Chains A and B, each alone.
Chain A
Amino acid sequence: MQKKKNAKTIMHIDVNSAFLSWQAAYNKQIGVETDLREISSVIGGDKRKRRGIVLAKSIPAKRAGIKTGESLMEAKMKCKDLVIVPPNYNLYIKSSKALISLLKEYSPYIEVFSIDECFLDYTGMEEHFGNPVDAAYMIKDRVYKELGFTVNIGISTNKLLAKQASELEKPDKVNTLYPDEIPKKLWPLPVEELFMVGSRTKPKLNKIGIYTIGDLANSDFNLIYQKLKSHGKLIYQYAWGIDDSPVHYTNYIPFKSIGNGSTIPFNVEDRETAHKILLSLSETTAKRLRAANMQCNVIGIKIKYSDFFSISHQRKLLNSVNTTRGIYETARELFDEIWNGKPIRKFSMRLSELTSCNITQMTIFDKKDEIKIKKLDKAIDYIRERYGNRSIVRATFLHSGLEPMLGGFGAEDYPVMTSIL
């Protein structure tokens, strides 16, 4: 546990099976006696709307072999008396915010990494709250007492090691992983436990005889670099615990693209309905794009047919856009080019090659009313911000039975998953 001078102290706080813990804490408050964490239970989508996958699971459910991401039907087959709870995203956002405001009492430097994870820069706070391990225990116990759920805390000198540390032992634990503990604690783990090594990289590494993180760290760097290029360099550094990314404590969220998608409760078989669904996706996606003060240059759509075969298509634009109409028009063209007339179950849309709104390259092909439309979008966004998403909707959705704004779960402020430290 020795620490170099001037070294930082970073904590990584991770909520144990977040969605489920939050629901359990809420149930405790409203007086439900069974604790979801102690029985086989999962948080899953609505089966009738066909959004039936496991989002989070309790530890007894994990023992029954249930995995996150599999369908509720499969999960039910593995465990007969499984309790399925529908998701409640507003509750998750409330819980996440309460956690962050509690953590802010310990350090002003907090990076919200996702809805259930954050980094806390503890450097220089020892004078106030004692050594990091004691402080971490204090934070962990306070979170449980006041907010009613358990967290894992990892402590180290950089963000990568702190994150790896918090995953060493679960749940409700405080773990350290200082650089001198790497050979003992990090290296014996299987290589896929390392951040940024996923299902695609693992077989490539296994093929050249690398099974643990230690194997990776002690292998020939040139070999790794040759096989995996810059990604190889990154994971080789990670295996040695090298990472110098700062704690982004302002609300800085780096992202490369924005996308929304939704599974439709019924099969879509006609072009008109499909266009409406694309319009409602454009509404939500474009709103997020504008809220980030960005515009996009590439628009892509993806559709999944009822037989689970999916197809995608994208196009680079002549000039960047961020208007709902501009995005919808391109999306509609893309859709008409790829659709083969078969029933569709899922639509998604992705906007990429983002640039700032502050500088815009005009073209002579700009639409005539572009400025007017931009003003209209701005006004609509403002109304929706203030009075809710349903306060102003397009007339085409009236009596259509379709959602006027599709996709997303109201947690746009939080990336649910990210690979950028």
Chain B
Amino acid sequence: MKILNEPVDMIAIFYKESGKIKPFKFRYKDTSVRVEKISKIYEEKLAGNKRIVFVCIHNGKDIYELKYEVDTCRWFLFKK
């Protein structure tokens, strides 16, 4: 796993009932990736900066992390 912290274009679902967020599909270096499975969701607020972290699984084995920064409304591909 490598730390990237690169902003990505994202399509996400914001559920109307629970207010929860689910990343659906994102574009990284001209390839679009569908989020297949989310294994863990948690919130971090290091230095007071809130980010929602999604630990995702690709192809059933590769783990990567997506982060949603609440204050700036941006998505980051954090680790791949």
CB pair B47–A146 under 8 Å, yes or no, is no
Rounded to whole Å, the gap between the CB of A338 and the closest CB of chain B is 43
Q: Is the CB of B47 within 8 A of A94?
A: yes
- Chain B interface size range: 10 to 19
Least Cβ distance of B8 to chain A in Å? 14
Q: Return chain A residues, CB-CB under 8 Å to B51.
A: 29
Would you call B73 an interface residue if the criterion is a C-beta within 8 Å of the partner chain's C-beta atoms? no
Task: From A95-103, A283-291, A354-362, give the one contacting chain B.
Answer: A95-103
A25 to B45, CA, bound (A): 10
The 8 A CB mask of B53-77 against A (1 = contact, 0 = none) is 0000000000000000001000000
Cα separation A132 to B79 with both chains bound (whole Å): 40
Closest to B6 in A: A31
- Chain B residues near A91 (CB, 8 Å)? 47-49
Asked whether any CB of chain B lies closer than 8 Å to the CB of A149, the reply is yes
**What are the residues of chain B within 8 A of A33 when measuring CB–CB?**
3
What residues on A are CB-neighbors of B33 within 8 Å? none
> A99–B3 Cα gap in the complex (Å)?
27
Interface: A148 (CB within 8 A): yes
Question: Is there an interface contact between B78 and A22, defined as CB atoms closer than 8 Å?
Answer: no
Which residues 1-45 in B have Cβ within 8 Å of A in the complex?
A: 3-5, 44-45
- Does B47 lie within 8 Å of A98, measured CB to CB? yes
Nearest 3 A/B pairs, CB to CB: A98-B48, A31-B3, A25-B47
> With contacts A31-B3, A94-B49, A148-B47 known, what are 18 further pairs, Cβ within 8 A?
A22-B47, A22-B48, A25-B46, A25-B47, A26-B46, A26-B49, A28-B46, A31-B5, A91-B47, A94-B48, A95-B47, A95-B48, A96-B48, A98-B47, A99-B48, A146-B44, A147-B45, A147-B47
Instruction: List residues of chain A with CB under 8 Å of any chain B CB.
Output: 22-23, 25-26, 28-31, 33, 91, 94-99, 146-149
